[in-house]
Chains A and B, each alone.
Chain A
Amino acid sequence: MAWFDILMALAFWALCISLLRGGKSFRSVLQDPRVSGARMFALCMALSLSFQIDPFAGMLDRALGINNLSWLIGYILAVCAVYAGIFSVMAVGAHTPPRWLTLLTVAVIAGFFVLAPPLSRTAEELHDALPKSLPTLLLRELLYIYLLFISALGFANFARWQRHEKLPSGKLRNWLMMYGFAAGFGFCLFRGAASIMVYANPQWVWYDMAATVSSMLLFSCMTALTFGLAPVSWLRVPVRAILYAKQRFALYKLERLRARLVPHTGVLPWTQPTNTERWFNVPYALYCTLIDILDRRMLLLARIGRQDDTFDPRHQELAFVLQTLPETDNWIELVRHFQRVSRELGEEH
C-alpha cells in the first residue's frame, strides 16, 4: 500500500475540511474568488489523490468495469484543482488567469477524454508504478506539460509581485511561492523526462535516481506552497529557519575574526560557548563571541597605543580596521558590523 499517497490525500482532506468549516454564507463564498478558488482547489485535490491510491483505485475500476478509469478521473480532478488554485492565488492580487491558460486547461481535459478509449482497452496499471503502456504514458505527459505551464505562470506572477512588495512577510510569502513553483517546474521536467526514458528503455538505470530527485522536488514544492499560502502564525516556521541560517553564518564570520585576534591578545579567562550551544543556542554563542571580540579589540588597541615593539604592520592593519565602531546599543548592529569587517579581511588575505 502506498502510504505516502494515503498521507497526501489525508492532508488535503484535512485542508478541505478546515477551509469548508468557515462560517461564511454560500453567497459570500461565491462572491470571493479567493475563498471559492481555495475551497475548490482543496476539494478537487483531495478527491484526485484519493482516486489515485493503490489498491483502492484498482478496486474501483474493477467495480465499474472500466480499466484505468481512476487514472482519468484522478487526472481530470487534478487539472481542475490546479486551475482553481491558480485562480484563487491570482485573485489575491485582483487578477484573473490569462485566457490562454483557460483554453489550455480545456484542451488538456479534452485530451484526457480523447485518451479514455485507448486507456480502457489497456490492462489495469498501478498508479505507483512505471508507465507500461503508451496511453498511460501520454496521460502522464499531458499532465506534466500542463503543470509546467502552470508553474511557469505562477513563478512569473509572484516574481512580478515581489518587485512591488514592501513588507518583509509579503516578500517571504512571494519568495516561498516562487520557490514552490520553481520546484514544481523541476518536478514536472524530471518526472516527465524520466517517464519517457524508462518507457523507451525499461532497463534505463537512472530512473530510480530521477524518481528520487523528482519526489524531493515535489515535497519541497508542496512544503513551500503550503507555507506561502498559510496563515501568519505558520510563517514563523520559515522565519525561524532563515533566522537560524543567518545566525549560523554570522557566527562563522565572527569566529573567523576572533581567530585572527587570539594570537595578538592572549587567553581570556571566561568560558566560551560549547559546541552544543554553537549549534542549538546560536544567539547566545553569537553574543559570547561578540563580547570576546569587543574585549580583544580593546586589548589590541591598547597594545597599539603602547607602541608595542613586537607588533608588525599586519597587526596594526587589524587594529585600524577594528578601531571605528558604530555608536549603537543594539548588539545585532555590532554583529553585522563585525561580519562586514570579517568579510573585508577575508577578501584582503
Chain B
Amino acid sequence: MTPQNVQKVLELLPADWDSFTPESFAGWLEEFDDIVIRFESVPLPTGFFGCSFYIVEENGKPEGVVVVDANLSPTHREHVQWHELAHLALGHRTWTGTEVELVAALGNPASLNQTLNTFTCRAPVSALADSQRQQEEEEAELLTRLIAQRVFAQRQGKMLQRGNSQAELDEAMQRMGIAV
C-alpha cells in the first residue's frame, strides 16, 4: 500500500505527466515551498548515487541542492534527480547549513561517508545509517517510481491514442522500435 505522505504529494503534483521532467518537478517544488533548487553533478564515494540538502544563507531564500554522482549515465542521473527531489517534496530530514559549513563538512575525505549519512542519500542498505533513513529511502524511491509510471503511461497513451494520423502512428512505431 502506498504510504499516505507519498500519496498526498502524488495528488498535489501537476497532472501533466507527459512533459514532467526533473526540472519541472524542481520548478513545482520552488513554487510550492518558496525555495530555490540547484542541481549539482560531482563524483560521489562508492555506493552513493545522489544526495540532497538545504543551504540557508542570511537574507536569502533557502536553497535545495540536489547532488548526483557525476559517473552516472543520463537515464540513471535523471532517475536519481527525481529521487532526490522526492526527498525534498516529502519533507525528509536532511542536512541544513550555510555554504561555508558545507565546504567544511565535505572538506575531510576521511569522514566523508559519515558526513553524507547526515544527508538524504540514495544509497544501498549497507551505506544507510538507520532504519528511519531506510524507510525514507523506500518512500522517496516509491514516489519516484510512481511518477515514472504515470509519465510512461501518459507518453505511451499519447503515442497510441484514438484519432492519430498515419504519420503519427508511424512515428510512434519507430520510436517504440516496433518493426515487422
Chain A proximity of B62: nearest CB distance (Å): 28
Contact check, B180 vs A175: say whether CB atoms are below 8 A apart. Answer: yes
* Interface-centre pick from A266, A267, A287 (highest chain B CB count, 10 A): A287
- Report if A64 contacts B (CB, 8 A): no
Contact check, A242 vs B178: say whether CB atoms are below 8 A apart. Answer: yes
- Report if A270 contacts B (CB, 8 A): yes
- Report if A171 contacts B (CB, 8 A): yes
Contact check, A169 vs B126: say whether CB atoms are below 8 A apart. Answer: no
- Report if A210 contacts B (CB, 8 A): no
By a CB distance below 8 angstroms, the chain A residues around B128 are: 269
Binary contact readout B45-78 vs A (1 if CB under 8 angstroms, 0 otherwise): 0110100000000000000000001011111101
Residues 210-252 (chain A) with a chain B CB within 8 angstroms: 232-233, 235-236, 239-240, 242-243, 246
A246 to B47, CA, bound (A): 33
Chain A proximity of B98: nearest CB distance (Å): 31
Binary contact readout B164-180 vs A (1 if CB under 8 angstroms, 0 otherwise): 11100110111111111
A325 to B179, CA, bound (A): 24
Which secondary structure dominates chain B's binding surface? helix
A283 to B149, CA, bound (A): 8
Contact check, A299 vs B124: say whether CB atoms are below 8 A apart. Answer: yes
Which secondary structure dominates chain A's binding surface? helix
- Report if A328 contacts B (CB, 8 A): yes
Chain B proximity of A248: nearest CB distance (Å): 14
- Report if A63 contacts B (CB, 8 A): no
- Report if A327 contacts B (CB, 8 A): yes
- Report if A56 contacts B (CB, 8 A): no
A295 to B165, CA, bound (A): 39
- Report if A340 contacts B (CB, 8 A): no
- Tell me which of B24-32, B99-107, B134-142 binds A: B134-142
Contact check, B138 vs A232: say whether CB atoms are below 8 A apart. Answer: no
Number of residues on chain A facing chain B (CB within 8 A): 46
By a CB distance below 8 angstroms, the chain A residues around B71 are: 298
- Report if B125 contacts A (CB, 8 A): yes
Complex partner residue of A236 from B79, B124, B169, CB under 8 angstroms: B169
Given A232-B164, A298-B72, A332 and B47 touching (CB < 8 A)?
Answer: no
- Report if A334 contacts B (CB, 8 A): yes
Given A172-B173, A239-B178, A298 and B74 touching (CB < 8 A)?
Answer: no
Complex partner residue of B76 from A266, A291, A330, CB under 8 angstroms: A291
By a CB distance below 8 angstroms, the chain B residues around A233 are: 162-164
Of all chain B residues, which has the CB nearest A334? B75
Residues 119-164 (chain B) with a chain A CB within 8 angstroms: 124-126, 128, 134, 137-138, 141-142, 145, 148-149, 152-153, 156, 160-164
- Report if A329 contacts B (CB, 8 A): yes
Complex partner residue of B149 from A239, A246, A281, A299, CB under 8 angstroms: A281
By a CB distance below 8 angstroms, the chain A residues around B165 are: 232
Chain B proximity of A273: nearest CB distance (Å): 8
Q: What is B's interface to A at a CB cutoff of 8 Å?
A: 46-47, 49, 69, 71-76, 78-79, 124-126, 128, 134, 137-138, 141-142, 145, 148-149, 152-153, 156, 160-166, 169-170, 172-180
Q: Please list 11 pairs of residues, one from A and one from B, whose beta carbons are closer than 8 Å in the complex, sorted by A's number.
A: A168-B174, A233-B163, A242-B180, A266-B125, A269-B124, A271-B145, A305-B46, A306-B46, A327-B73, A329-B78, A332-B175
